[in-house]
Amino acid sequence: MKTPLFVLALTATLALGACNPLETGPVGNANVPQPRKAVDLGRYVGTWYEQGRYEASFQKGCEGVTAQYTAKPDGTVAVVNSCRQGSPTGPLRSADATARIVEGSNGAKLKVSFFRPFEGDYWVLDRADDYGWAIVGEPSGRYLWLLTRERRISPRQYESLVARARTLGYDTTLLRRTQQ
């Protein structure tokens, strides 16, 4: 089931980012680094499971969060963000978008649009060499997502991702663990 309010909130938040005077969430990294590695879109597409995030109004109450990326013939990427409201088995909410790679970013920066003409930044700040995990943010430092290819990971794996985010300059005390 598509939730228009979810789509609108996500789009507005991503599109306006740090320039949004209505967004009052804390800045978890005042000096967001540039992405560390190039991203091969062919290896990045597929399903990602959110393991942790900075809480944002458009994700309030979301558990079982996934992101599905599919390459399109025109070089863009179809995006489907989904979550379960309240618990990993709660009602499904989803939002469809299109992403495009930012020229000159080695595939690590994308612009995501849930409806045109609004676009938001999506930066793959770091990733595993085998594309088993990724740390995603954007320039304002208000949003951060820890993603893996596996639905469930061990506490040790999660702590490793948190430590990695900390080395990127993020305040990891602001992270909220996602139930999968």
Sequence spans of domains, the chain: 4-19+28-177
Identify the weakest region by mean pLDDT among 12-21, 88-97, 104-113: 12-21
pTM above 0.75, yes or no: yes
Cα distance between residue 137 and residue 135, in whole Å? 7
Cα distance between residue 66 and residue 69, in whole Å? 10
Query: 173: helix, coil or strand?
Result: helix
What does the pLDDT average to over 27-43?
97
Question: Quick check: 115 pLDDT over 90?
Answer: no
- DSSP readout, 4-53? HHHHHHHHHHHHHGGG-TT--PPPS-SSPPPPSS---HHHH-EEEEEEEE
Question: Can you name the CATH fold of 4-19+28-177?
Answer: Lipocalin (2.40.128)
pLDDT at 24: 61
Q: Which helix (H) or strand (E) holds 161?
A: helix 155-167
Tell me what percent of the residues of the chain surpass a pLDDT of 70.
87
pLDDT at 117: 85
Per residue in 126-135, is it b (16+ CB within 10 Å) or e — as a string?
A: bbeeebebbb
